[in-house]
Structure 1
Amino acid sequence: AELGLLAGADRVEGCIFGNGERTGNLDVVTVALNMFSQGVDPELDLRDIVSIGEKYTEFTGMEIPPRTPYAGELVFTAFSGSHQDAIRKGMAARTKMDKDALWDVPYLLIDPHDIGRQYEGIIRINSQSGKGGAAFILEENYGLSLPKAMHPVLGAAVKEAADKAQRELKASEIYDIFEKQWLKNGSNLKIVDLSETHVEGKSESEIVETTLCRAVVSWKGKQISIGEKGNGPLDAFSSALAQTPAPRFSITAFHEHSVGTGNNTSAVAYVQITCEDGNQYWGAGKSTNVGRAGIDAVVSALNQIS
């Protein structure tokens, strides 16, 4: 049919979703949107394909198979890790482009919004999903932009949960995994009390600002009072932890961003620590206080040590 149109045919005959009196009917929706994807106006209003599909099912009593081109439930969905990663990168690239830029995202022939579909279901997570899929879900739904180096550990935690559940995981379940594993994990180290004091002093002709951090922490159930100075809250707290039995470590990566707007804005910090034995662990912290988010991320990282 499409080759016939290219050869000069002025019309084609068919049925919505290819279901007519008998078999073998042309699916006019597929042909029209194939033309649309190539920049040809099919002169059919298909901007709300979801409603069209609902009416079709209501009037005929027939279901639309989930893999039906354009209208199927799973058409704009990727479970495969490599596909998810390509889509995630393509969608990220579009945020830096002009809004009128041509659509060019791997595995997505057209912009789902053009036919009334949404982005939310593009990447769905099961046990076969890759390391970047879960990170995409957290960024799209919760504004959490995890550093790429943290994607593998998140992906492993989500895959384990999906294997156990033997089903696809919802976005809220993925967030719950992240929250439990990184934001609320108090298995080894907990902060009981924390205070910071900013101190100004002189070094030769320059004024030097330091932070004095005092804290009461619980390490495996035992409370310990600690205190140390540093270049800032994170440096001071990390140095003070040397006064506990916690493993010695150095911070080898730090990322931070904000989520929310106005009075509801919070800072989210991601910290990678490298212990003396060479093992590396990622932690995450979230707080309305920028300095506290980084401190919580260090605590989170230490709590990843089994």
Structure 2
Amino acid sequence: MKYWKYRPFPPLKINNRKWPDNVLMKAPIWCSVDLRDGNQALPIPMNVAEKLEFFNLLLEIGFKEIEVGFPSASQVEFQFLRELIENNLIPDGVSIQVLTQSRKHLIEKTFEALQGIKRAIVHLYNSTSELQRRVVFNKDKKAIIDIAVEGATLINELAEKAKGSIIMKEYSPESFTGTEPDYAVEVCEAVMDVWKPTPQNKIIINLPATVEMCTPNIYADMVEYFHTHIKNRDSIILSLHTHNDRGTSVAASELGMLAGAERVEGTLFGNGERTGNSDIVTIALNMFSQGIDPGLDFSNISRIVKVYEKCTRMTVHPRHPYAGELVYTAFSGSHQDAIRKGLNIYERDKPKYWEVPYLPIDPSDVGREYEAIIRINSQSGKGGVAYIMEHNFGYKLPKDMHPEFGRVIQKETDITGEELKPERIMEIFKREYIDIKEPIQLLRYKIEENQYLAQNENKVHLKATLIIDGKEKEIKGEGNGPIDAFFHGLREIGIPSYKFVSYDEHALTEGSDAKAIAYICLENQNADKLYGVGIAQNITTASLNAIVSAINRLSKLSGVK
């Protein structure tokens, strides 16, 4: 690759930079540019109906500033803005933002589209970068400043005539990242000289990374330089508009806020020209995960994704932070085990703060469900399988049983090469533990129990009918309990001796028809250990079925060791 064609972006020399020691404490002013920057980047731009649906979604989320288009450049954009105004669709307290180049006829058309609006932000821009001055415009620095000043002057005049409308002004030195920092300050101050902002009547100065050209820390240096060198800093709202050409627009926006910015422009899920804009969903939920109120409501992220995909015809990547289909799932076995343990402790202890391994936020905070967190494939482990069994079906497998059933599932996924849904996992569990009826099946049994109080003894006499290798057999046994008596009865008819290793039980359902489940681990003469499982309304029946299940599995072993 011809790497020598490129040169590194020059770092900015700043003495005693402050932003690395700053901490984000509150959310910025958010401005959605989905309906303008995002829309113009779509292969099929939204029509008026789709833009209206998307606009209403942005209102539901809580945006108070929404850039709706470039009304002087497109009839659809013009028509959409008129529909919002004429049908009184803009709520009180919401400002509509419109973009215009610093060209007379475009500015005039923009104000024509704004007639009758209550509140608007008129966003003026012209490119100031060294490259565009030299290659595109063939103009010197003064000529570029003149373009900005001419546009700012006309906006002043037209805003004065817009009676009954509150017009806020915004200026962007387009391609700020390619503009010399001192010259960016000079251009913006020339615009400020025209607009004459005050602390009571501020303007917005927006610093766009129209093309992301450097690492986020250098962008933060440029923002801090501007923040500390611009005059009348208390009379402006410093805004950011980052693009994602290097894949770091979210980080650039976050560091830019540390460097002094108080407003962020971006889009849902980062839609925008080329590699996209900064993703407001990610920035806002990053703040949320740090205990900061983002001021935007993403509590039903699945619905937001649905409307977004419908209107834009774009898809949200399954790994997209906070919103993707797979971001609250874990396929790795160690991750699954850690999540299962973390969720159990969180639900048990109910601590003040969320702390679950591998999950930076509680999925339910964005409308996602615990049941979908862990999914099983060939990379999964025992913890994930146990989690599915407990949280989807109520089966609390003994800890020592986790690796055993995990190997059963692992074998299945190795064969199919596919992800296993919870329903399929339950089918395999039943096949392996519940429905295994050979070589032994328990048909019926009867118990007689005698208590010898003086000797503090309990004697149980058990009679049972079994099917063994297709033939009915009666057994009789005596012991200090039903399980002990059943074992003795099996030995009497020549069933090999098994060592009893462990016993666990719990209620599977509640109410008068509640069922119990028993898990029994047996060890054969070769030191092989396997679990059996029994389910019944009677715990004794469940326990005897669990013994039969374990014996049947040990008699086959079926490759599970």
TM-score by length of 1: 0.95
Residue 206 of structure 1 deviates from its aligned partner by 3.9
Please tell me whether the aligned partners of residues 272 and 301 of structure 1 are also in contact (alpha carbons under 8 angstroms): yes
> Percentage identity across aligned positions?
45
Residue 183 of structure 1 is aligned with which of 418, 421, 434? 434
Residue 57 of structure 1 deviates from its aligned partner by 0.5
CA distance in 2 between counterparts of 1:28 and 1:207 reads 72
State the Cα RMSD in Å.
1.5
Worse overlay, 239-248 or 175-184: 239-248
Are positions 1:256 and 2:501 aligned together? no
Worse overlay, 152-161 or 28-37: 152-161
Q: Closer, same or farther in 2 for the Cα pair 1:277/1:164, shift >3 Å?
A: closer
Please tell me whether the aligned partners of residues 338 and 383 of structure 2 are also in contact (alpha carbons under 8 angstroms): no
Residue 223 of structure 1 deviates from its aligned partner by 2.6
SS in 1 for 2:370: coil
Please tell me whether the aligned partners of residues 219 and 245 of structure 1 are also in contact (alpha carbons under 8 angstroms): no
Aligned residue type for 1:213: L
SS in 2 for 1:62: coil
CA distance in 1 between counterparts of 2:424 and 2:275 reads 42
Question: Deviations along 1:195-234, whole A, 9 cap, x unmatched?
Answer: 11122335xx345332211012122223321111222211
Aligned residue type for 2:284: A
Aligned twin of 1:293: 542
CA distance in 1 between counterparts of 2:290 and 2:439 reads 57
Aligned twin of 2:176: none
CA distance in 2 between counterparts of 1:234 and 1:45 reads 57
Aligned twin of 2:395: 144
Aligned twin of 1:195: 446
Q: Closer, same or farther in 2 for the Cα pair 1:207/1:130, shift >3 Å?
A: closer
Aligned twin of 1:215: 464
Please tell me whether the aligned partners of residues 18 and 28 of structure 1 are also in contact (alpha carbons under 8 angstroms): yes
List structure 1 segments (4+ residues) > 6 angstroms apart after TM superposition.
none
Aligned twin of 2:425: 174
SS in 2 for 1:303: helix
Residue 139 of structure 1 deviates from its aligned partner by 0.4
Residue 322 of structure 2 is aligned with which of 48, 70, 84? 70
Aligned twin of 1:106: 357
Are positions 1:50 and 2:302 aligned together? yes
Aligned residue type for 2:434: L
Please tell me whether the aligned partners of residues 219 and 246 of structure 1 are also in contact (alpha carbons under 8 angstroms): no
CA distance in 1 between counterparts of 2:275 and 2:467 reads 71
SS in 2 for 1:265: coil
Please tell me whether the aligned partners of residues 219 and 244 of structure 1 are also in contact (alpha carbons under 8 angstroms): no
CA distance in 2 between counterparts of 1:24 and 1:276 reads 66
Aligned residue type for 2:411: E
Residue 34 of structure 1 is aligned with which of 279, 283, 286? 286
Are positions 1:19 and 2:268 aligned together? no
Aligned twin of 2:232: none
Residue 4 of structure 1 is aligned with which of 252, 256, 265? 256
Matches within 5 A, 1:266-305: 266-305=515-554
SS in 1 for 2:277: coil
Aligned twin of 2:349: 97
Aligned twin of 1:156: 407
Unaligned runs of 5+ in 2: 1-252, 557-561
Residue 138 of structure 1 deviates from its aligned partner by 0.6
Please tell me whether the aligned partners of residues 394 and 508 of structure 2 are also in contact (alpha carbons under 8 angstroms): yes
Aligned residue type for 1:235: D
Worse overlay, 45-54 or 127-136: 127-136
Unaligned runs of 5+ in 1: none
Residue 22 of structure 1 deviates from its aligned partner by 4.6
Question: Deviations along 1:102-127, whole A, 9 cap, x unmatched?
Answer: 11111100000001111111110111
Residue 131 of structure 1 deviates from its aligned partner by 1.7
CA distance in 1 between counterparts of 2:276 and 2:482 reads 70
Question: Deviations along 1:4-44, whole A, 9 cap, x unmatched?
Answer: 22344211111110002453410000000000000111100
CA distance in 1 between counterparts of 2:487 and 2:386 reads 27
Aligned residue type for 2:366: I
Are positions 1:135 and 2:386 aligned together? yes
SS in 1 for 2:496: coil
CA distance in 1 between counterparts of 2:319 and 2:347 reads 28
CA distance in 1 between counterparts of 2:349 and 2:257 reads 33
Residue 59 of structure 1 is aligned with which of 311, 325, 342? 311
Aligned residue type for 1:252: V
SS in 2 for 1:56: helix
CA distance in 2 between counterparts of 1:83 and 1:220 reads 43
Aligned residue type for 2:517: V
CA distance in 2 between counterparts of 1:211 and 1:240 reads 12
Aligned twin of 1:245: 494
CA distance in 2 between counterparts of 1:36 and 1:269 reads 44
CA distance in 1 between counterparts of 2:487 and 2:418 reads 40
